[in-house]
Amino acid sequence: MKINEILEDISIATIVLTRLPINNIFSINQNIEIHRGQWAYPLVGASIGFFLFLLICIFEGIGINRQISVLISLSAGIFLTGALHEDGVADFFDSLAGKDHTTRQKILKDSRLGTYGVTALMIVLLLKFLLVLELDSRLALACGLIACSSLGRFSILLLVNYCDLSKQAGLTKHLKKVNDKTIFLCGVFCMLWIIPIGLPAILITIIFGYAFLYLFMKFIIPFNRGLSGDILGLCVVLIEIFSLIIISASLN
């Protein structure tokens, strides 16, 4: 793969996962093949985590306390991604109010938020805030934010590879399965950020991470009758929280 193709793939992944106006900065074809940038999802995720880490360090450096620094930085991360994954969390939990599949699909397509969705968002955002606060040292903070963000995006590759798409899938239908080599290399890339935390954290993340994804594929995706963008967003957020719990517990 040539350098310009690699950069274009990363740019495509950035367009899909963030709201950065990459297509206005670089001359990228408007008819892009979304699946081309899939291998770079963990890389873009790691970049988002590193950006949040830098923001926290900058705010603390000018005298703002840790709690406010973390809150502002996490909020900036939500704006950076356009609340892409958080929207999936809200939509999924709102859909639980539906009595059958047809009703749930109507709720998923509704742009309005319900009580279930708002409550779920409050819980996951509060959990993430409290877990990031547990990362006391700069090294732990950097590893935690980068690892959770890259692992969350890595879960997209796994779900797309091993699950069937929902008939109501939107942009998700443009994603394609990647080869095993790509899965392996992306997984190793994500694990690199947990190495400073220790070997037990790596083993626990791998074992329980795959167990979580298996249960997710076994129950959540069949409940939705296939993989959709909302389900991918839900998984990304849950994996982020799951990995932060493991890193925080390992440090303590």
For 42-96, the pLDDT digits (tens) are 999 999 999 999 999 999 999 999 999 999 999 999 999 999 999 999 999 999 9
User: pLDDT tens digits for 120-143?
Assistant: 999 999 999 999 999 999 999 999
Please check whether residue 76 is in contact with residue 185, taking contact to mean a CB–CB distance below 8 angstroms: no
Structural domain includes residue 115:
yes
The count of structural domains within the chain is 1
- pTM of the shown model: 0.93
Structural domain includes residue 98:
yes
> Is the pLDDT assigned to residue 24 strictly greater than 60?
no
Structural domain includes residue 70:
yes
Per-residue pLDDT band at 110 (split at 50, 70, 90): confident
Instruction: Find tokens 């994603």 and name the residue.
Output: 175
Tokens of 160: 């797309």
For 85-121, give the DSSP string: HHHHHHHHHHHTT-SSHHHHHHHHH--S--HHHHHHH
> Is the pLDDT assigned to residue 33 strictly greater than 90?
no
Model pLDDT, residue 29: 53
Structural domain includes residue 141:
yes
Structural domain includes residue 233:
yes
Structural domain includes residue 33:
no
Structural domain includes residue 77:
yes
Secondary structure of residue 133 in the 3-state scheme: helix
Model pLDDT, residue 225: 83
What's the one-letter identity of residue 53? F
Share of the chain above pLDDT 90, in %: 69
Structural domain includes residue 74:
yes
Tokens of 158: 């796994």
Residues spanned by the domain of 172: 41-251
Higher pLDDT, 9 or 166: 9
